[in-house]
Structure 1
Amino acid sequence: MAFTFYALIQTAILCVNAVAVLHEERFLSKIGWSAQHGTGGFGDDPSINAQLLILIRSVKTVMRVPLILVNSVCIVLLLLFG
């Protein structure tokens, strides 16, 4: 299997899908990354864990509809061109 640009795009889509389906109460709270821990006070720099939690929430919020469309396009391309 050759490493192509399409394979790179598929890898990025799968990684974004993996982040989008993470469940906060089931998975993230078990490793200590839940909303109850907070992100710090005003003027404080948030920790790396807090920044990753904000990134996960942002991906869930912003990428919901675009992911549906991009996944549909990828499925159609795979069905057409194998």
Structure 2
Amino acid sequence: MFGTILYVALLLINAVAVLSEDRFLARIGWSTVQAQPNPSFGQPYAQPYDQAAYPGAQEVSMKERLINLISAVRTLMRIPLIGLNIVIIIYELILGG
């Protein structure tokens, strides 16, 4: 049971990690370039917790959160996924799980 959940999670993370931003994500409008807000210079300084004085404090949409998650998985999980995939492959070859 736990092994099946681990395999499904690994396969889903692998699927996200191999998505091509140029070929696939940009075509459907999920590129990280489009998700970046334009910085507005010349804004008066405001305290980080003062929501009323800071006009840039907007709620981040779910789409932008997913774009950031995909980007983070693609950059941060690339090397650990290689090692984890190798461990799973060796485990399957030796024990035939």
With the length of structure 1 as denominator, give the TM-score of the two structures: 0.85
Q: Which amino acid aligns with 1:28?
A: L
> Cα gap change, 1:74/1:48 in structure 2, threshold over 3 Å: closer, same or farther?
same
Q: 1:24 maps to which residue?
A: 21
Q: Which runs of 5+ in 2 are unaligned?
A: 39-55
Percent identical pairs in the alignment equals 42
Q: Which residue of 2 aligns with 1:62?
A: 76
1:39 Cα offset (Å): 4.0
Larger Rg belongs to: 2
Instruction: Look up the SS of the partner of 1:43 in the other structure.
Output: coil
Sort the Cα spacing of 1:46 and 1:39 in 2 relative to 1 into closer, same or farther, 3 A: farther
Mapped to 1, the partners of 2:32 and 2:17 lie a distance apart of 16
> Which residue does the alignment assign to 1:36?
33
Superposition misfits of 4+ residues, deviation over 2 angstroms: 35-42
What do the CA deviations read for 1:34-82 (whole angstroms, capped 9, x no partner)?
2332344631122111110000011112111111111000000100111
Contact 1:40–1:46 (8 Å) recurs in 2: no
Aligned residue number for residue 66 of structure 2 = 52
Distance 2:57 2:71 in 1: 21
1 or 2, which has the higher helix percentage?
A: 1
Instruction: Report the Cα distance in structure 2 between the residues aligned to 1:39 and 1:45, rounded to whole angstroms.
Output: 14
- How far 1:19 sits from its partner (Å)? 0.5
Q: Output the aligned Cα RMSD.
A: 1.4
Task: Classify the secondary structure of the residue corresponding to 2:89.
Answer: helix
List gaps (5 residues or longer) in structure 1. Answer: none
User: Does residue 79 in structure 1 map to residue 76 in structure 2?
Assistant: no
